[in-house]
Amino acid sequence: MNIKSLLLGSAAALAVVSGAHAADAIVAAEPEPLEYVRICDAYGAGYFFIPGTETCLKVGGYVRTEGKWYDAYNPNTHFGTLWHTRAHLSVDTATDTEYGPLKTNTVIRFDWQDGGATTTKLLFANISLGGFLIGKADSQYNSYIGYAGNVINDDVVNDGPYELNQLTYNYDAGNGFTAVISVEDSNSGAGATGANGEDSHNHYAPDVVAGAGYKAGNFGFKIVGGYDSIVEEGAIKARVDADFGVFKAFLMGGWNTDGDKLNKYANANGAGAAKGIGWGDWAVWGGFTVPINEKLQANAQVAYTDSKIFAATANVKWNPVKNLQITPEVSYTNWDSINQDQWAGVLRFQRSF
């Protein structure tokens, strides 16, 4: 009986002690729920939501390295091989609004050339909403019409200006018809000059670009004009694109409002003895792309001007694996007015991401 009482008493004591410990136990706080990155597919591949916001972000770019032999833009370069390496970083954002997507585009480049230091360049930085774009981007004279061919040395015959500040409106009717109007920086300021050396330090008027186009099925046509407010002249380009299935081709022509002068939209890209040789009254470009298989394509372009510049370029673009492209290219330029010519080559390796 005494043993039984002792056992019952011990059990009761243990129960009391256990209850007391349970009452005093520290309860660990629940961990904060993790916020995983959400995919944002409304604006194309590669976008994701910035955590805690409704803004979508995309980071991309490429790393490129290339060897160059001579210079298709300069008949006086005979110094052999140059090696050039570039890192190109692009950051895009997009947020849905009642006026459509509010977007930004920022592109930064880091370049290193043989025998030189690394240079950094803010290539693009712009904001767009409801068809409007403001900030730094390529001139609509080039970007709207589609630049030139699918080759590296596509602008030996100058096809217009590239990055500059602008206020642009792009219109898309949704039925194949598009149009653009752009007020662009004339790049004037202290010490600035026009394409022919015009004094423009007190010049404040912008340049103007306007264009329209129509695409139906595999064929498209665009026309664009640019007015250089410093030189008070301009140029017009028209382009036809066609997709024949087995190959794609384009033909583009340009007209200079005064063939005796250069202007921003009918300028000169030559260097050395070819410096300052522009179109004259007109220029024409043509080219094609032939897909050989899913990893290989061939491209070619020729251009000719009223001033008798002839430029031809051909390349092969090979993608041995996804996002890696290897491009060997050969160019030939002849400047008849100075009786000089030049062969040049490029071997480019580019990994995009």
Task: List the CATH number of the domain containing 343.
Answer: 2.40.160.10
pLDDT above 90 covers a percentage of the chain that reads 80
> Of 2-11, 139-148, 269-278, which range is least confident?
2-11
**Does residue 319 have a pLDDT over 80?**
yes
Q: Is residue 147 part of a domain?
A: yes
**Does residue 75 have a pLDDT over 80?**
yes
Q: Which residue has the higher pLDDT, 198 or 344?
A: 344
pLDDT at 169: 98
Query: Position 127: which residue type?
Result: I
Alpha helices, H only, the chain = 2-24, 140-143
Burial category of 343 from C-beta neighbours within 10 Å (exposed 0-12, middle 13-18, buried 19 and up): exposed
Nearest to 338 by CA among 260, 259, 274: 274
Q: Which residue has the higher pLDDT, 81 or 348?
A: 348
pLDDT at 29: 60
Render pLDDT for 157-209 as a digit per residue (tens, 0 to 9). 999 999 999 999 999 999 999 999 999 998 755 555 677 878 777 788 999 99
Q: Is residue 98 part of a domain?
A: yes
Q: Is residue 102 part of a domain?
A: yes
Phi-psi region of 49 (alpha: psi -120 to 50; beta: other; left: phi over 0): beta
Q: Give the chain's mean pLDDT.
A: 90
Q: Is residue 36 part of a domain?
A: no
**Does residue 21 have a pLDDT over 80?**
no
pLDDT at 315: 98
Render pLDDT for 302-318 as a digit per residue (tens, 0 to 9). 999 999 999 999 999 99
Tokens 């015009």 locate to 198
Three-state secondary-structure class, residue 229: coil
Q: Are 346 and 68 in contact (CB under 8 A)?
A: yes
| d(C-alpha 62, C-alpha 43), whole Å | 20
**Does residue 1 have a pLDDT over 50?**
no
Q: Is residue 170 part of a domain?
A: yes
Give kind and range of the element (H or E) at residue 348: strand 340-352
Q: Is residue 28 part of a domain?
A: no
Its domain, for residue 98, covers 57-352
Q: Is residue 42 part of a domain?
A: no
Burial category of 29 from C-beta neighbours within 10 Å (exposed 0-12, middle 13-18, buried 19 and up): exposed
Nearest to 157 by CA among 286, 250, 344: 286
Name the band, by pLDDT with cuts 50, 70 and 90, for residue 286.
very high
pLDDT at 265: 96
pLDDT at 224: 98
Nearest to 289 by CA among 317, 247, 246: 247
Q: Which residue has the higher pLDDT, 64 or 197?
A: 64
pLDDT at 221: 98
Q: Is residue 33 part of a domain?
A: no
pLDDT at 32: 58
For the chain, what is the domain count?
A: 1
Question: DSSP secondary structure string, 22-62?
Answer: HHHPPPPPPPPPP-PPPB--TT-TT-EEPTTSS-EEEEEEE
| d(C-alpha 350, C-alpha 152), whole Å | 12
